[in-house]
Amino acid sequence: MGGMGKTALAQLVYNDEAVKANFDNKIWVCVSEVFDRSRVAKAIIMGLAKPDHASASALNLDSFTLQSLLERICEDIKGKKVFLVLDDVWTDDSESWESFNQAFKPAAPGSRILVTTRKDIVVKTMKSFRVFALEQLSEDVCWKILSQEAFVGRGDGQCKNLEDIGKNIAKKCSGLPLAAKTLGSMLRSKKTREEWTNILNSEIWKLNLEAVFAALLLSYFDLPSAVRRCFLYCSTFPKGVEIEGDVLIYQWMAQGYLNSSQNPEMEITGVEYFECLAARSFFQDLEQMKMVASGHVRFMTWYLTLLVSLWEMNLW
């Protein structure tokens, strides 16, 4: 099930200082639903070269065959203690993974591969020796996550006034932390009981969507129209692609989405829009770079961009 916190938990492990100290290289690859072996192999090679930025930027892997890429992994990984995260794995084709298993054999003892997936068959296919199955959260824990996001900067009296409605909203999260966090971020700007009640009684809950999609859809329609337009532009990127924040903003500028004739003002507006979307959980795996962050488009929010595009065109 999406929104359980698999990627978030993997990120905590990946960014832990003890993990960083224990491995020569850390590599994060978002695999996603369509398993492109060449893309995954290239991402691993780039990750192995990352500590040497000059080497990474000089790599030109476009002309490499899959076999050449796998041989390059064998060569680059030899003797290195590596921690590889394969995030959001869907394919259960054992033959597709066997070539990667062979490529990783020259790695140093103690190397580890962490896989996140929502499919039990993937666990069996990848012959995992230790499995951590995440369970849905209780309503109380969902409320705690939601309230921590929603009540930032509020006084005790205000919080108490909204608590009963908020707990009923938390029940709609179906135990999914992403749904609770997304709703909490949206409710932060809602000051009155009437506004909170409108969220609780929204018609979107009747659409028979997974709780996390319903939460993201509610959050989407709560965005200013200019920010919604910028979000929908992200559907032009493949699922799981890494987006440089500043590059994305320049593309918004080129499309005329930032409503200003002055470039510095447009860039400031773009940063605000990006941060707004990140705060609403539309981006993941944020890493501070230059003036803004980079991030990955979540699988669920990539799908959401298509869903709301159809909605906006009255096709869904």
Instruction: Report which listed range, 185-199, 238-252, 270-284, is most confident.
Output: 185-199
Please compute the mean of the pLDDT values over residues 133-138 and round it to a whole number: 91
Weakest-pLDDT range from 80-94, 182-196, 203-217, 259-273 = 259-273
Residue 287: predicted pLDDT: 52
CA atoms within a 13 Å half-sphere pointing along the CA-CB vector of 110: 11
Interacting residues of 280 by C-beta distance below 8 A, sequence separation 6+: 182, 185, 186, 219, 223
Residue with tokens 């790695």: 107
On the CB side of 226, how many CA atoms lie within 13 Å of its CA?
Answer: 14
User: What distance, in Å, lies between the first and last C-alpha atoms of the chain?
Assistant: 23
pLDDT band (50, 70, 90) for residue 282: confident
Q: Which helix (DSSP H) or strand (DSSP E) does residue 283 occupy?
A: strand 283-289
pLDDT of residue 148: 95
**Residues composing the chain:** 316
- What would the pLDDT profile of 11-49 be if each residue is shown by its tens digit? 899 999 999 999 999 999 888 777 888 989 998 998 888
| Confidence (pLDDT) at 292 | 42
- Token match 């932390």: residue? 177
pLDDT tens digits, one per residue of 221-251: 999 999 998 988 887 777 666 677 888 889 9
- Please report which residue ranges of 139-210 form alpha helices under DSSP H: 139-150, 156-171, 177-187, 193-200
Burial of 208 (0-12, 13-18, 19+ CB in 10 A): exposed
Residue type, 216: L
Q: CB atoms < 10 A from the CB of 218, how many?
A: 21
Q: Can you give the pTM of this predicted structure?
A: 0.78
